[in-house]
A and B are shown apart, each in its own frame.
Chain A
């Protein structure tokens, strides 16, 4: 199983290298390390969000409210910054994490305590959180001129030649890697996805673990809220509208099975990078950005078709044999 996982990520990495090679035949500067670092930086937020979504999907759940959470939390920190520019950025990041955590915990509690399917809960909170952003802001925007220079500059500051935003992404990737591969929580998350019933017998509290993964995706959404707003320097109700499906797309391309239990940190990161490279490359090779949606759609379908080969369940194979007999 583990060999298979590695296999899939290697293929995805190879596909990305081929993609970069193809692009650089039309535009050689694209493969420049400096430009690739730029692409990585551009994709940082999507990578972080994809990791948060990944832990949820691994437990056979889904979080459709991440983009709305991002929008709401982003508005909260932007308004705080506009009203009290003196609040230091690290404190704002903590606030963003906390607000995101609360929104995630609401999802988690509804899933855990009331046993409502996560897709229904987060479909509801998707509209509620975005609506709450409107109520909070009164429909007003927070523009660049109201944000403090620190607020905007923090993630752009270079540390060891790499922007802070990229460092945050690297830190989050490392953190998720440790949690997923080196802790009991990570193992429980995989176990629940592979077989929830067996997990209960193995002493895993399935409901509580699901609550925790929604808290994680909430915190990730909150963190991304600050990062998104300070990157695109505008906070409005429309921020990241419809982005929840991009996040899921990154996970799917990264080989994370929507049926739960299969997927890795590396896959989520590569899936996000794949989308990031396409969106960065289209303008430089003179393809209309209107092509982007259709291309990522095709990439998703292709990815599922390829992934499905490794995921065939036992029951289905038995049935096929019975049918043939």
Chain B
């Protein structure tokens, strides 16, 4: 008769050091956000106004929507650089449909389906052929936007139906825009998906160790494929919003968004190496980026100078905990 070993207690989250680090990360972001908010309201008399603050949200809602899906993708150890190009392609095809006389529901459907299709294409290349996602999506980034350029050249599509304008310009209640509501709903959905479902646990497992995850019965390829589809889907939705807000399509639409989305995700505390991150962090990072760009905009700071602040913020926020830990550790 042998002793049956007592079942080992495996905590479902690691003890203090990690959880307090994550807590301090989000705490740090809250502090940064509050500081920027206070500075802004002192710097410009126009800042603390319901309508100003409502305008502010348009700075991050579209990118933020993509950032949620991108966060999951980056946690799983992959990346998608083609999101802005997906926006351009979806917007161009919506523009084509308008020329053919399509109405709002069809346009929205086209945006979503094109986004989903592009995401699935990325996902197939990465999971079926085992290719590195950073290179695949640099390729599809040129391909998708390239197709938009072939279709449109130096032209622009206009003449979207007036009912289509609601998505990017409409308000649900008072100063609360449709985009903001969608952003908040998506935040809750993705928070639930990542932090409260077994799917989310699998995403973390894959990011920490894909081989171990595979041997634990996680279908790594399938989950990564789903994540690419989700990212494409969110880019398609963002495309509907941006096209509706601008009311026109050029092939250069949303140029450079991919790097802003990734900056948002990384600023939100998602490890670029995969395996850790939270949706709350991404939401905070989206607010911070919106606050910075809007506040500086009120002070008439040109967009390109704002980008210095975003870049510095990214590096400082990431470097700060490392420097702090090192100083405290005394090494």
Residues of A bordering B, CB below 8 Å: 62, 64, 110, 114-117, 119-121, 123-128, 130-132, 134-135, 139, 237, 242, 245, 248-249, 252, 258-259, 288, 290-301, 304-305, 308, 312, 315-316, 319, 322-323
Complex: how many Å from CA A323 to CA B149? 43
Tell me whether B146 and A293 are in contact (CB under 8 A): yes
Tell me whether B135 and A131 are in contact (CB under 8 A): no
When the two chains form the complex, which single residue of A114, A248, A288 contacts B319, counting CB atoms closer than 8 Å? A114
Min CB distance A95 to B, Å, is: 23
Q: Point out the residues of chain A lying under 8 angstroms from B142, CB to CB.
A: 245, 249, 293-294, 296-297, 300
Within 8 A of A (CB), among B291-322: 302, 304-308, 310-312, 314-315, 318-319, 322
Within 8 A of A (CB), among B136-178: 136, 138-147, 149-150, 153-154
- Among B150, B214, B323, chain A packs the most CB atoms within 10 A around the CB of B150
Given known contacts A131-B305, A293-B142, is B314 in contact with A123 (CB within 8 Å)?
Answer: yes
Min CB distance A174 to B, Å, is: 28
A-B contact pairs, 12 of them (CB 8 A): A123-B311, A125-B315, A134-B302, A134-B305, A135-B305, A245-B138, A249-B139, A258-B132, A294-B146, A297-B146, A301-B125, A319-B211
Given known contacts A119-B272, A297-B146, is B314 in contact with A245 (CB within 8 Å)?
Answer: no
Tell me whether A308 and B131 are in contact (CB under 8 A): yes
What residue in chain B is nearest A292 (Cβ atoms)?
B146
When the two chains form the complex, which single residue of A117, A128, A139, A305 contacts B312, counting CB atoms closer than 8 Å? A128
Given known contacts A123-B259, A126-B311, A242-B256, is B304 in contact with A297 (CB within 8 Å)?
Answer: no
When the two chains form the complex, which single residue of A119, A125, A132, A305 contacts B131, counting CB atoms closer than 8 Å? A305
What residue in chain B is nearest A298 (Cβ atoms)?
B143
Q: How many residues of B contact A (CB 8 A)?
A: 50
Tell me whether B129 and A291 are in contact (CB under 8 A): no
Interface status of B50 (Cβ within 8 A of chain A): no
Given known contacts A123-B263, A124-B315, is B149 in contact with A294 (CB within 8 Å)?
Answer: yes
Tell me whether A130 and B307 are in contact (CB under 8 A): yes
Main secondary structure of the interface of A (DSSP, over half): helix
Given known contacts A123-B262, A242-B256, is B132 in contact with A259 (CB within 8 Å)?
Answer: yes
Number of A-B contacts (CB under 8 A): 147
Complex: how many Å from CA A64 to CA B153? 27
Tell me whether A110 and B135 are in contact (CB under 8 A): no
When the two chains form the complex, which single residue of B306, B310, B322 contacts A116, counting CB atoms closer than 8 Å? B322
Q: Point out the residues of chain B lying under 8 angstroms from A295, CB to CB.
A: 146
Tell me whether B311 and A304 are in contact (CB under 8 A): no
Main secondary structure of the interface of B (DSSP, over half): helix
Tell me whether B135 and A304 are in contact (CB under 8 A): yes
Min CB distance B331 to A, Å, is: 12
Q: Point out the residues of chain A lying under 8 angstroms from B140, CB to CB.
A: 297, 301
What residue in chain B is nearest A256 (Cβ atoms)?
B135
Tell me whether B132 and A304 are in contact (CB under 8 A): yes
Q: Point out the residues of chain A lying under 8 angstroms from B214, CB to CB.
A: 319, 323
Interface status of B41 (Cβ within 8 A of chain A): no
Tell me whether A132 and B308 are in contact (CB under 8 A): yes
Q: Point out the residues of chain A lying under 8 angstroms from B125, CB to CB.
A: 301, 305
Given known contacts A259-B132, A292-B146, is B256 in contact with A301 (CB within 8 Å)?
Answer: no
Given known contacts A127-B307, A134-B305, A242-B255, is B315 in contact with A300 (CB within 8 Å)?
Answer: no
Tell me whether A297 and B143 are in contact (CB under 8 A): yes
When the two chains form the complex, which single residue of B150, B302, B311 contacts A291, counting CB atoms closer than 8 Å? B150
Q: Point out the residues of chain B lying under 8 angstroms from A294, CB to CB.
A: 142-143, 146-147, 149-150
Min CB distance A146 to B, Å, is: 21
Tell me whether A290 and B129 are in contact (CB under 8 A): no
When the two chains form the complex, which single residue of A120, A126, A305 contacts B272, counting CB atoms closer than 8 Å? A120
Min CB distance B266 to A, Å, is: 6
Q: Point out the residues of chain A lying under 8 angstroms from B262, CB to CB.
A: 123
Complex: how many Å from CA A110 to CA B251? 36
